[in-house]
A and B are shown apart, each in its own frame.
Chain A
Amino acid sequence: MHNEATRSFSTSASFQMNPPAVITAENLTKSYGELTAVDGISFEVPAGESFGLLGPNGAGKSTTMKMIGGVSQRTSGKLSIMGLDPETHGPEVRAHLGVVPQQDNLDEELKVRENLIVYGRYFGLPLSYLRPKADELLEFAQLTDKAKSRVDALSGGMKRRLTIARSLINEPKILLLDEPTTGLDPQARHILWDWLFRLKEQGVTLILTTHYMDEAEQLCDRLIVVDKGRIMAEGSPGSLIREYSTREVLELRFGSERNATIGRELEGIGERVETLPDRVLIYTNDGESALEQVSARRLHPVTSLVRRSSLEDVFLRLTGRSLVD
């Protein structure tokens, strides 16, 4: 990132020079028989960016990740990772990647430190490099005193840390993280976020999928929202909120019996009114004044809350509220 800044100064060009793309996907499609898991998506990720794929279950996020890793063949479209096609240069592409799968797949037959060394051997790295590197990563993951433990003796958070440490053994240029913090407690999540920030500072490109909107807001420079294999929206968390939601949201509860009827009476307040079974949401740029308007109509909610709009509002608006499996 620093290099890019100096380069754009020295060229004294009137436009901002973008770092070269490390991932380019063009009309990427993946079908399993009748089912189209990924339906013609295109995106570019410049070096050093933290890029998020958001979407409900079955949206095609993991399939996209697998195609980037070269472990799933695309049906059609173009894909280039570090200038290489993962389909024809799988092992070479993966030499640049660190992969953190959705479920930890540590080698349970090996001890903690052995897991790092053996994984490094898969990349063809020599032991003279791997031994100090493994110790360094164990320290980073705060697992130094567990080096000789069996993997199944580790807690969930420790296993996750080991999986991420393992993904860094080959000093990857691109780190693929598939729901990295699912199943972790808040402490462990925050530690991981801190890690990922530091990796990003060192110039690693992060590609992550997540279900947690706060995580996406924290970590992603830019993200795409995918649903049913298609891109619904693309942009930074802030710009998506500006584009697809309002600055604030007023949440009103009238009791589950009355929400639906009162929701209709609230039409006209704010930019948009959404009635849910348990509450009514009013999307507005000024929550307080919307609340005054509600009172002026002599409607008195049991509870009311004004909050800032979040990525969650954008996500639910774009992908709907009904349950998908």
Chain B
Amino acid sequence: MSVLTGGHSATEAARGRTFGPLYSRNALAVVSRGLMAAKSSTWLILVSGFFEPVLYLISMGVGLGPIVGTVAGPGGQAISYAAYIAPALLAVSAMNGAVYDSTWNVFFKMNFAKLYQGMLYTSLGPLDVAIGEIFLALLRGLLYATGFTAVMAVMGLITTPWAILVIPASVLIAFGFASFGMGITSFMKTFQQMDWINFFMLPMFLFSATFYPLSVYPQYIQWLIQAMPLWHGVELLRQISIGSFSPATAVHVAYYLVMIALGIALTTGRLRKLFLK
């Protein structure tokens, strides 16, 4: 029996490829691994992330909404409270999904399952792993965003065709958080340190103009919140959801583009340091 019938054209072809020390143009292999793993995992966990913002929307929008009445939307027009918070909750869900995937999941794979160590003993480079994992996080974000947008439509919160753009915009938000989250996770060594991430995320969720306008704060608090990524996501989706655009829209998008670029640079650098030391 010859297990190593050397000279297989496939293995020779795979060896003939050339690439740098960081990237082998094979992030797809990491993605298909993730899909295969998701297939055998419980769907319930996957679905639970979708329900969280829906529950918030029902309790706050339907429950609290009638008491609040209408509020001023991005362009100054009056919109229902549910329509006001729905895009914000979508931004939060994009953030949560991406952060969960790129922090806890990555933390586990890095430190316990030793998955990346195994991957990096193959032709994969650290950049393949980073891109693949981030793409998977975005795929999950895309599923959640599509589902949530459908719920918004069913609840009658969508009034303009522009609203369909909240789906790609959610993916952009998820991309920013996922690329940064993975880089930050690479610094973490213990579960206690991982809790710091929640410590940072919860106040951002509550105070980023999610449930009420930024104008309630004094000026310097406003600046602080405007520096945070979630606020840009909330504002971006809120503008898109009612089709009210302004120069600020471009600023929000640019904020995320910069965040993505920095995040990927950070993550790849860290993976290189961790695994190719």
Q: State whether these chains interact.
A: yes
A→B interface (CB under 8 Å): 69-73, 87-92, 94-97, 99, 101, 103, 105-111, 114, 118-119, 121-126, 128-129, 133, 136-137, 139-140, 168, 170-173, 198-199, 202-204
Task: Compute how far the CA of A90 lies from the CA of B21 in the bound complex, rounded to whole angstroms.
Answer: 5
Q: Please name all residues of chain B whose beta carbon is closer than 8 Å to the beta carbon of A103 when the two chains form the complex.
A: 114
B45: min CB distance to chain A, Å: 12
- Total A-B pairs in contact (CB under 8 Å)? 134
User: Are the CB atoms of B114 and A168 closer together than 8 Å?
Assistant: no
Instruction: List CB contacts (< 8 Å) of B1-32 with chain A.
Output: 1-6, 8, 10-11, 14-15, 17-21, 23-24, 26, 28-30, 32
Q: Please name all residues of chain A whose beta carbon is closer than 8 Å to the beta carbon of B37 when the two chains form the complex.
A: 107, 109-110
Mostly, the A contact residues are loop
B217 contacts the other chain (CB 8 A): no
User: Are the CB atoms of A70 and B124 closer together than 8 Å?
Assistant: no
Known: A105-B118, A107-B37, A124-B17. 13 other contacts (CB 8 A): A91-B19, A91-B124, A91-B125, A94-B123, A105-B114, A110-B40, A118-B36, A121-B26, A124-B14, A125-B14, A129-B8, A168-B4, A171-B5
Task: Compute how far the CA of A70 lies from the CA of B125 in the bound complex, rounded to whole angstroms.
Answer: 11
B→A interface (CB under 8 Å): 1-6, 8, 10-11, 14-15, 17-21, 23-24, 26, 28-30, 32-33, 36-37, 40-41, 113-115, 117-125, 275-277
Q: Please name all residues of chain A whose beta carbon is closer than 8 Å to the beta carbon of B32 when the two chains form the complex.
A: 118, 121
- Known pairs A96-B15, A168-B3, A204-B4; A107 contacts B26 (CB<8 A): no
21 A-B interface contacts by CB (under 8 A): A71-B276, A88-B21, A91-B21, A91-B123, A91-B124, A96-B15, A97-B121, A101-B118, A105-B115, A107-B118, A109-B37, A109-B41, A121-B29, A122-B30, A124-B14, A124-B26, A124-B29, A124-B123, A136-B3, A199-B3, A202-B2
Closest residue of chain A to B5 (Cβ to Cβ) is: A171
User: Are the CB atoms of A73 and B276 closer together than 8 Å?
Assistant: yes
Task: Compute how far the CA of A129 lies from the CA of B113 in the bound complex, rounded to whole angstroms.
Answer: 27
Cβ-defined partner of A71 (8 Å) among B5, B14, B275: B275
Task: Compute how far the CA of A97 lies from the CA of B6 in the bound complex, rounded to whole angstroms.
Answer: 13
A89: min CB distance to chain B, Å: 7
User: Are the CB atoms of B121 and A95 closer together than 8 Å?
Assistant: no
Q: Please name all residues of chain B whose beta carbon is closer than 8 Å to the beta carbon of A95 when the two chains form the complex.
A: 14-15, 17, 123
Closest 9 CB pairs of A and B: A129-B10, A122-B122, A109-B37, A121-B29, A105-B114, A91-B24, A99-B121, A105-B118, A91-B123
Q: Please name all residues of chain B whose beta carbon is closer than 8 Å to the beta carbon of A89 when the two chains form the complex.
A: 21
Q: Please name all residues of chain A whose beta carbon is closer than 8 Å to the beta carbon of B10 when the two chains form the complex.
A: 125-126, 128-129
User: Are the CB atoms of B121 and A69 closer together than 8 Å?
Assistant: yes
A40: min CB distance to chain B, Å: 19
A305: min CB distance to chain B, Å: 41
Closest residue of chain B to A195 (Cβ to Cβ) is: B3
Closest residue of chain B to A69 (Cβ to Cβ) is: B121
Q: Please name all residues of chain B whose beta carbon is closer than 8 Å to the beta carbon of A168 when the two chains form the complex.
A: 3-4
- Known pairs A73-B277, A122-B26; A114 contacts B4 (CB<8 A): no
